Structure formats: structure tokens, C-alpha cells
Amino acid sequence: MRDTPSLVIQTSFLGDVVLTTPLLRRLAARGPVTVVTTAAAAPLLAGHPDVARLVPYDKRGADAGISGFVRLTRSIATNNPDAVAYLAQGSHRSGALARAAGYRTRVGFATSAGRLWYTESIDGLEGWHHAERLWRLGGNDRPPTPGDLQPTLVPSAADVEAAEAMLRGASASAGSLVALAPGSVWGTKRWPHYAELAAALAPRRVAVVGAAADATIAAQVVGRAPNAIDATGKLPLLATAALLARCQAIVTNDSLPLHLASAMNTPTVAIFGPTVPGFGFGPLAARRAIVEHSDMPCRPCHSHGPPTCPLGHFRCMQELTVARVAAAVDEVTA
């Protein structure tokens, strides 16, 4: 039915928001979808065809506290008894928000902290990609196809022009670059050999992508690569996605650029150290390769990646060689 409105609350990390888009596509086939997400993540979903209404929620800033909660509740309130809320982010606050806004049916994960607020819970998360976990919030009646789980982002014409202007300014053509994403907010997720990789990839040109906070790491990479493009902090999120769509491939840590690349179907080499693909956040691009130290007994050591190696050796990343990663680039671009 095309008349069932949905509310999706997703205020987790930016990568989680990208991986929520398969669920949004599924729900949009039933009716209009309202998405509550963070102010930082809202630009990712700007203009997305499966989002009827986008509601930024600055839960730690302007919308913090009871007053912010009440304002948001009023903004998304519904009197429709058929409306359904999907709690993609499973906190007590998200569950309480959906209930206070009048959603009689509230669907979330059985393992979530806020599960007491739910009227329906989804079990069996073990072994699923996170995109599948989120997709199954919309119904656990059948297994998904690969197409069901493909994330989507829709850069605007301005985003595309910003990416193409960067290519023109660097005298680079679409499809001529390998993107490198050396940053991560989690210290031990950063593979330490990106500068050496940039040199080893010659004569291929590289484009370094990431946030403004990655500028120091980017400078090290650019210093080893002739004619490298430094895009860190220079493009909005969707313009970065548009740039990745114009690259031969990306080499990335277990971080946001991995998921941007999945949404743009950019061939992906994903490097995993303290975390593992089994957590559910591996690449979904059609051409992909994972580089990891698969036989190390101390992996995984953390759900995200601690600031430093708990054992002091950091072998899970240090021992992943440049030659191995470069070979994976050749594999996904062959």
C-alpha cells in the first residue's frame, strides 16, 4: 500500500545513515517517509528521492534537553493510526520520541537499549551486514536480494559540478584517479602506510579524501605522490560521493568513505585492523576486496577501534603490506 507513512529515526554515525538508505527505499514504496537524523548527517539525505521529509535533530546542541525533545515531538507528531516508526538508532531517547509523537507501531532491534519502547522487535542480527539489519526493520518476511541492500546517495547538480570542477582544476579526467581515505576518528582504524601506497601506485594519480581533520595525514600522502589531489575538507559530503563515483577505485579504512563508495558503487579496497567485516560494515560495491590480518587471535579488540593498540604492537595494521594493498587495487580495477 502506498498510503502508509513511516518515521525513521537514525541519529548514529554518518556511515550508519548511508546504510539506512536501503530501508528508506523499501519504506518509500509504501508511503511517505520522514527521517530524523543528526544535523551533521542531514546533508547526506538532502534531495534523496525516498525521503519525503528530513528533520535534523541536534541532540547534543540546539535540541538538547527536554525543550528540544518536546519541540521535535511536536514537529513529527502523527494522528494516523497506521503510521509506523522504525528505530534505526536504538536508544531510549529515540524510542521515547517515537512513542511521544503518537506512533502506535514502533519497530526496532531486540538487542537495543530502547527495546522496551518497541511494539515489534527484530531478532537474529548475528552475521548480517548492517544494511541488512536495517532493511529487515521494514519486514522480516523474506531474505533480501543484493539489489535490496545497495545503499544510495543522490548528489545534486551543484555537488556534481563541485567534484568535476576539482577534476578540471587538477587537469584530471573521470576514471583516472584512485581515491585514498587515510583518516578515521578512531586511531587504530588508520592504516599507517598510505603515503607509501601513494608512491607505489604511480603512475596512477591519487586523490586523498576525508574531513578537514584529516589534513595532516593527507599532507603526508600528497608529499609522496606526484600530482596528487588533496580533497580533504574541500568538498561537502555529497560532492565527495560524486568525486568517488568518478574514481577508478578507493582504498579506505573502516570509516565513512567506505560507505560513500558503496553508495556510488566505486570499486573498493577496505582495510580492517581492530575491527572485522563480521561486525556488518564491510563494502557493498560490486567490485570489492578486503585486506585484513585474518589469523590474529587478538582481533577484533574493540567495536570501533581504540585510540591505541591495547597490546602495544598494532600488528593488525602494521603488518598489512603496501604490496598486498596495491595488489588488491589491481584486483578491483582489472
Residues 183-231 have pLDDT tens digits of: 999 999 999 999 999 999 999 999 999 999 999 999 999 999 988 999 9
Region 300-322 average pLDDT: 95
Q: How confident is the model at residue 127 (pLDDT cuts 50, 70, 90)?
A: confident
Q: How confident is the model at residue 140 (pLDDT cuts 50, 70, 90)?
A: confident
Instruction: Provide the angle, in degrees to the nearest 10, between the axes of the packed helices 237-245 and 256-264.
Output: 60
**pLDDT tens figures, 26-70:** 999 999 999 999 999 999 999 999 999 999 998 888 888 899 999
Name the average pLDDT for the chain. 95
Region 5-17 average pLDDT: 97
All structural domains of the chain: 6-149 (3.40.50.2000), 157-333 (3.40.50.2000)
**Cβ density class 183-201: b for 16+ within 10 Å, e for less:** bbebebbbbebbbbbbbbb
Give the pLDDT score at 126. 81
Region 120-141 average pLDDT: 91
Asked if 11 and 133 count as a contact pair (C-beta separation under 8 A), the reply is no
- Total-model pTM: 0.96
**Cβ density class 70-100: b for 16+ within 10 Å, e for less:** eebbeebebeeeebbbbbbbbbebbbbbbbb
- Distance (Å, rounded) from C-alpha 9 to C-alpha 330? 39
